[in-house]
Structure 1
């Protein structure tokens, strides 16, 4: 049986292509789920986008109910509570497909992901039995209430309080939450508050409780059809049996839920990027200037190609992570009453990968939708065209589930702390890179070698940063950010490379197209890695010492460039011929 890799171990281990999950590995169940979601969205959601964005009364609840009839709300919920309990690949597919819908994606994710997983993973049997069946059918819609006006990324500084009543039967909840998705339609809130002002805890709160009120709908840049409101708690009585997990353990609930939430946000981003590319490829084929389809213009080809390349890399990273999470879940004994907590603990192993894919995929989506507007020209600025909505809806994904800045900090600090605890032998890997530098690193021969070069550059820079700052490195955000960029780009590069190589080895159709996209991504991205390393090192050293370090970076990245222009032309040709994203 394949040994599960430790989270972050890809940075010092070689990943065999056969050991990563790719979309080409979908089985019949996965394909059926994809087809079901596609048909549902076409019939119920995409056909009513104007009504959704206009917040037609009752429509979002109606759509969630219809999704529930098809089993699309219970994918993470055990069958004993009427869920479909599919594998993590199915839930990733669902998240990807709904990602392109914008407002519906937020309502769906707020209800099925962060809105129910706290109960799935940390609820007791009575709580699961009371709430999960109603979530599966959307008889009750859920919302996740963590953010406060004064505590966004710093969730533990929340000021909402819960005090035990004199008869010991209720917690009396006071405080407020802001930017809460689904707040206007929610029947259940997962609320975080401090018991006695210091024990950060999670509660299941009835949305119709006396003293619970919501503010007016926020008028947002994008996602206009989703409900986003502030929620206020004025002496709200919450039965003591509605405390989730344990008093003072709310951070365990919140942070574990955010791990899987980041994975699903990344999948959402991939789905939206694909639609943006589909719309742009179709428009470029149809739009003529100077009596020629603009898809034939070299600079438009470059745009279409790079949109496809980044989408391919993001998709590869997302399904690789989905495979890791799926393998982890299947390796655990989750049969007992603590099965949910065991699952959450298992997912925590890949918190790094979840943060990496979230940052990369949301930023890839941002690039794709922006280029999509540019390809559409003036029409891209007109609401009649889907690309205009996709552009607006994409912006918040770099803020959701922890800003990308927070996630970059998490990536680096988690790696450094795991290394300090010897949970990851990163410093041994640093020593190995230094040793190889003294004997000389050979010229890199292909894209796979450049993936290794990126890992080497990360380890080399980490070693210098650790030598320079020691424990104070955790306070150097600019250095942490560059280390995180090198690590997450290594993950995306390796994911794309392994996917392409697996396709070649298996003789899959379209393998050459995949290989082209992987090569183009790696050979262009490696220059970003070099820049990140050089900027970090320039802050860590000066004079002759810096010159020596820069020479080491140059040695790590000795390679012969490839013809990126020709690669992009070939990739764009495939996309234009298909009139949509293909991999």
Structure 2
């Protein structure tokens, strides 16, 4: 795999996988998932929201029969041994499944992946066939009442009892998804040797589950406290090595962030579809809403944001797939996943915030009806809010992005900025200029001695700039690849142009904020702003017209035919 060697640390192959690359065979999984959601999950939405656990259990078995739960499980343990890209595609389509998508993704992600990556052969043979088939449901128990974002500061304790020949677990795990429906939990506890992961079966004595939490959204996913009272765990149920639980926790969280990103993309696409359909049907002042250019702008902004989000998410999944080819050792897998920690956090933050904007605008386009529970966008709005908190808050993920980026920059800051050569010159200029702006901000932060881990406003701005660049570059290279193959649609071309221009403007504003704050000396500030003036800014025009065309294309609106 070709790794970028410049001051940007993105794992990069120029011809990375894009959604246009799915084969007909791979798209069968898409159609299978769509059919499952439409014909099996959506008719049961009310029962799921009412916590009818038998319905959820049946749906898991049906999903298992279709192979949807075992996509990443190796064939020798009852799975399909498919890629992160296919797993992402399924998570995306499952994003239309409301609360069940949360239960599904927790099971297929953090409930199953720890066994795949860190389990012994005996553990894999015992648990993976059950999890892949849906006969057993998995859960992940990390969060505690007094350790939310500081998830590794666990108060749950595991003490080895030599006489019993078992670990004895005591503690509480809070907000555990699938708590009431799970058959097995991956539980993290402190030992004398450090954080350790344990496989805990629900049938063991001493395990109890608290009442269902009353949540704002995702009401149908089981969320409750897991209580452990003198639970005896045999030594063969230690997952990975004693004291290495933090490695498992952090690496699995990285994978969970990427899976959540794909699910957010799917839900955002659902909201866009609902908004577009409503805008074509709803009449105001004797005209459909879609005829009003402000509504067109909203729909275009939604579509552009989704285009950028899926470009970046599939790029990251492809990088992981490429890296995992031939990687079998646990240590190698851990190191590989860690190299993508920044990208996983970027996708988690970007996709959850794209979803937030998209569902908000979908409600706005529906007007007063969007606030009514009989319209689906009302539920999407409530369900979406948790995504900015799930799998590490977006604030924590922003700190992760900036920390990892600054660490890389300190090691590579003397390397030159890589120029992006392209037959799409205008977008290439946006990329080059954005990189120059980021580089200037990094120099200012470094030379001014700012401790960005303490002054977190800088971390926020830096992480957003890095994220914007990753999304820009992903959309840019996706369009370039399609163009080289003669398959670039005018809609995708327009989306890429607008996305690059608008993300560039965000980066430019962030740099100005950093330069105006980083130095107390007026002279120094003037020096930095003089350097900023030396960067050549690309021109961009016709943004409203491009958005109008994008909105009409993505909704299929033809005013002439509608008359």
TM-score, length-normalised on structure 1?
0.91
Instruction: Point out where structure 2 has 5 or more consecutive residues left out of the alignment.
Output: 559-563
1:341 to partner: Cα distance: 4.5
Cα displacement string for residues 215-238 of structure 1 (whole angstroms, at most 9, x for unaligned residues): 110011110100000111111111
User: Aligned with 1:229: secondary structure?
Assistant: strand
Q: CA deviation at 1:12?
A: 7.0
* Correspondence for 1:305: 300
How far apart are the structure 1 equivalents of 2:555 and 2:227?
51
Matched, 1:194 2:190: yes
The alignment's C-alpha RMSD in Å is: 2.1
Question: C-alpha distance in 1, partners of 2:318/2:144?
Answer: 34
Segments of 4+ in structure 1 off by > 3 A?
Answer: 12-17
Is 2:57 aligned against 1:78? no
Deviations 1:296-324 (A, max 9, x none): 10110011110001011101111111111
8 Å contact from structure 2 (residues 10, 343) kept in 1: no
Aligned position for 2:371:
381
Counterparts of 2:321 and 2:32, CA distance in 1:
21
Shift of 1:16: 7.2
Displacement of 1:292 after TM fit?
Answer: 0.7
- Distance (whole Å) between structure 2 residues aligned to residue 234 and residue 299 of structure 1: 58
Provide closer, same or farther for how the CA distance between residues 55 and 477 of structure 1 changes in structure 2, counting only shifts above 3 A: same
Aligned length: 553
Partner in structure 1 of residue 561 of structure 2: none
User: Post-superposition shift, 1:408?
Assistant: 0.7
| Structure 1: tracts of 5 or more residues without a match | 437-443
Which residue is equivalent to 1:207?
202
Counterpart CA distance in 1 for 2:220 and 2:536 is 48
CA 1:254/1:14 → structure 2, altered by over 3 Å: closer, same or farther?
closer
1:133 paired with 2:129, answer: yes
Cα contact 1:175–1:232 (8 A) shared by 2:
yes
Q: Which of these residues, 534, 540, 543, is aligned with residue 512 of structure 2?
A: 534
In structure 2, the residue matched to 1:439 is none
Cα distance, 1:445 vs structure 2: 6.3
State the distance in 2 between where 1:13 and 1:485 align: 14
> Take 1:460 and 1:149, find their aligned partners in 2: how far apart are those partners?
42
Choose 544-553 or 565-574, whichever is displaced more: 544-553
Does residue 537 of structure 2 align to residue 558 of structure 1?
yes
The alignment partner of 1:162 has SS state of strand
Give, in angstroms, the shift of residue 578 of structure 1.
6.2
Aligned to 2:402: 412
Could you tell me how far apart the structure 2 residues matched to 1:82 and 1:501 are? 39
CA distance in 1, matches of 2:57, 2:369: 32
Q: Which moved more, 1:77-86 or 1:545-554?
A: 545-554
3-state secondary structure, aligned to 1:101: coil
Check whether the contact 1:4–1:327 (CA below 8 A) recurs between aligned residues: no
- Give 1:56 deviation, angstroms: 2.3
- Residues in 1 aligned to 2:149 and 2:49: alpha-carbon distance in whole angstroms: 28
Distance 1:110 1:552, change over 3 A: same
CA distance in 1, matches of 2:284, 2:532: 45
**2:255 counterpart of 1:260:** yes
Question: In 1, are the aligned partners of 2:70 and 2:80 still within 8 Å (CA)?
Answer: yes
CA gap of 1:259–1:532, structure 2 versus 1, over 3 A, is same
Q: Confirm or deny that 1:490 pairs with 2:469.
A: yes
Structure 1 SS opposite 2:347: helix
* Aligned counterparts of 1:108 and 1:308: Cα–Cα separation in 2: 26
Q: CA deviation at 1:193?
A: 0.3
Contact 2:180–2:224 (CA under 8 A) maintained in structure 1: yes
CA distance in 2, matches of 1:464, 1:286: 52
What's the secondary structure of 1:173's corresponding residue? Answer: strand
Question: How far off its partner does 1:249 sit?
Answer: 0.4
TM-score (norm 2): 0.94
- 1:475 matches 2:461: no
- Offset at residue 549 of structure 1 (A): 1.4
The superposition leaves residues 449-498 of structure 1 with CA deviations (integer Å, 9 ceiling, x where unpaired) of 1122222222221122122226x343221111111111000000111111
Change (3 A) 1:578 1:214: farther
2:414 counterpart (398, 423, 428): 428
Q: Return the offset for 1:552.
A: 2.5
In 1, distance between residues paired with 2:12 and 2:366?
Answer: 40
Give the secondary structure class of the aligned counterpart of 2:174: strand
Residue 248 of structure 1: CA displacement?
0.8
Give the CA deviation at 1:240.
Answer: 1.2
- Could you tell me how far 1:551 is from its partner in structure 2? 3.1
Single out whichever of 165-174 and 353-362 deviates more from structure 2: 165-174
Match of 1:250 in 2: 245
